[in-house]
Structure 1
């Protein structure tokens, strides 16, 4: 049997390779790292997480991304299995020890006899064979040029920003305290998965002033791109209004300062555990385009971080994605060159889990094709089906932008199934219907 080839060993490519091999089909996984490096990656491991260490909510009853977690687990997904294995306390979220996670994904792929990992950059797209392109937001210039050559137009793009990581032992815990918002989490350890740094009104105003005045990375001449609203740099949020951050990542609600329990903070900066040892914490929602020198000055204005040492500072990079509603069919194939499937963030989904889920689907579809079969996507009443429906035709092509999974992509629940129409009843009806329909899709294979 001819192998399926995958370009890119990020979350999507790694998941695709796993699904193909589990279907009994050989696969060659091409990864340019470490031969060709990127500014954001720190290793040559597969499925390296570069922006955050969170897979977001793990609630599969009231949350669409939690339902997506459920579907990936039900489909035997490698990414979710390794995320569960290296889970960190994070309240109701699924956060992982990112280095242990990617190392385990890499080890699992290397141990699978049907998977061959080849290092080196792919610069051209073949016109024959069974290929999946899962190169992610940091697609190399050469390959991006090859993709543009096939699409006949410029791929859309936006800029994605990375949050900084702080060494835990440099956080002043006489000012900061451990607490998950609203004390979410079943155990005391989970409820203490976050460190909180409080601000008074004067401290907040001074922080906003410094943030707005700081030196920032600017776009290169001729580049035109916007930001994805789910991953805005904090400077862009601050430019939209001085109170924007206080109602976003710096909101003070659901938290009580153990040092001053009777005093309500005007704003709070949260840090989330980034590794199992608890030695590293990332600043939640603090993606930034500030230059490195400005970052250390501005972030040390945060009470509790005045002496902070940074394991990694924030950054910004160009994130290219296809106009998928125009270019891809519902099997995730390029209409003009159907030997190519696309998966992951390059298709116009946003988020680790969404990217991996598109890899899972592309892998199963490619494996079916290798066996002379055809696999349709799951119903768009499921999280995976809703995503693939959105990117391959459900979205308006003229205004297409990256999208996280959400219940707005689901068809309405029929009358009578959810009872009352409030979301407390509607969301469980969405997720129960999704589970039923996804199980039916799996059973039909």
Structure 2
């Protein structure tokens, strides 16, 4: 009888790992403590619940590294991407999903497999026997976190994720706001009008920045320090870096024309993105926050078009823990001190839904191969998945290791074209063409999925 693979955590990484291993014929048990033991951010007991943004970011597989990662996961029969495609929402060139049906579909797909079961108990210790994947993500329980810390002997590494607020669409003033994707990007009218835009004059922007800086913020507990990941900075932290930072970040006005006053150029623009298929909820793009609830309501209602906004969810902040993977994991994602345990997802130091699921995909396939008596090497470093696993298992500088999104800076450089330098567009296309060929070859060397 085939040995069982145990997966701790039913988020993006754990769900994808379970799917990949089960498709190889391995028996899988997913240990998910929710809803019996809750977390700060989760609302349900569904697998693959989205707790922050509902976007998987760019879906462009020729010019964007995360779009390439989407392509690789689809090529590898990834459950997360299959389900995201099924529940996608208009979002310009991005892949946004209807979060509740998405999680429900992932849960249904996994529980329908005869060799997958879900156990609701909390795992508090690192197992000494059997095949295990730890994919507990940013909200690893305190007990398991302590066990990981005790085993690795490393000082706990942590940063704080901030969650953006969600607004009821009916409370947005559409006499002020308008629908448009930046530069009208998208092949359909729905894609070209995927974002809701709220314009600001210079005076309104300056007043907003003043209020943001003065607002009451969540304080950290004694002994805690905030080492924010740059891709998920609270909006107040961005503002503290300079009064113009937001205007060149999430509030940049470029590529947008006010449908109500086309002759007026906005000084800054706040964008909102649809958060569900019905179009009744919109999240404020890039507005992760650590402001206290009362302050959030007052400050965000200063945004033109949101003066009467009603919030389905206010922003928040939570701890995100990750291990120093370059020192702790081998290139098969195994804990060097306990090779029966693999790590996957955000706890390894990748950042983002897609990156987490991709590391789950690799961990699931590698664990299944080992159980079935095979060895599966990681994908080539020139691929998106290969670049990520290479980075976290030795490519990154251990002393300064921080969570990382996939990006072309992680890829081995391309050879120059005829001795000259490539333009950025040609260079990115070169990265993706090379990656797709190599990833397809890596997949073809593996046994077919069941």
Could you say which residue in structure 1 is the equivalent of 2:244? Answer: 243
SS at match of 1:227: coil
SS at match of 1:373: coil
Deviation of 1:155 after TM superposition, in Å, equals 2.6
Could you say which residue in structure 1 is the equivalent of 2:162? Answer: 161
Could you say which residue in structure 1 is the equivalent of 2:445? Answer: 444
SS at match of 1:29: strand
CA distance in 1, matches of 2:356, 2:295: 32
Could you say which residue in structure 2 is the equivalent of 1:366? Answer: 367
Could you say which residue in structure 1 is the equivalent of 2:33? Answer: 32
CA distance in 1, matches of 2:177, 2:104: 32
Deviation of 1:419 after TM superposition, in Å, equals 7.2
| TM score, norm. by length of structure 2 | 0.98
CA distance in 1, matches of 2:382, 2:28: 30
Could you say which residue in structure 1 is the equivalent of 2:295? Answer: 294
Could you say which residue in structure 2 is the equivalent of 1:311? Answer: 312
CA distance in 1, matches of 2:204, 2:121: 49
CA distance in 1, matches of 2:379, 2:6: 23
Do 1:348 and 1:402's aligned partners in 2 also have CA atoms closer than 8 Å? yes
CA distance in 2, matches of 1:415, 1:241: 38
Root mean square deviation, CA, Å:
1.0
Deviation of 1:190 after TM superposition, in Å, equals 1.0
How many pairs does the alignment contain? 445
Deviation of 1:413 after TM superposition, in Å, equals 1.1
Kindly report structure 1 stretches of 4+ aligned residues shifted beyond 3 Å: 415-420
CA distance in 2, matches of 1:89, 1:213: 35
Could you say which residue in structure 2 is the equivalent of 1:187? Answer: 188
SS at match of 1:424: helix
Deviation of 1:224 after TM superposition, in Å, equals 2.2
Could you say which residue in structure 1 is the equivalent of 2:212? Answer: 211
SS at match of 2:283: strand
- Render the CA deviation track for 1:309-343: whole Å, top value 9, x for unaligned: 11111000011000000000000000011111000
Could you say which residue in structure 2 is the equivalent of 1:387? Answer: 388
Deviation of 1:416 after TM superposition, in Å, equals 3.5
Could you say which residue in structure 1 is the equivalent of 2:235? Answer: 234
CA distance in 2, matches of 1:168, 1:200: 23
From the superposition, tell whether residues 317 and 376 of structure 1 become closer, same or farther in structure 2 (CA, over 3 Å): same
Does the alignment pair 1:375 with 2:376? yes
CA distance in 2, matches of 1:19, 1:443: 15
| TM score, norm. by length of structure 1 | 0.99
Counterpart mapping for 1:30-429 below 5 A: 30-416=31-417, 420-429=421-430
Do 1:419 and 1:425's aligned partners in 2 also have CA atoms closer than 8 Å? no
- Render the CA deviation track for 1:234-275: whole Å, top value 9, x for unaligned: 000000000000000000000000110000001000000011
CA distance in 2, matches of 1:120, 1:99: 23
SS at match of 1:226: coil
CA distance in 2, matches of 1:155, 1:340: 19
Name whichever of 154-163 and 131-140 sits farther off.
154-163
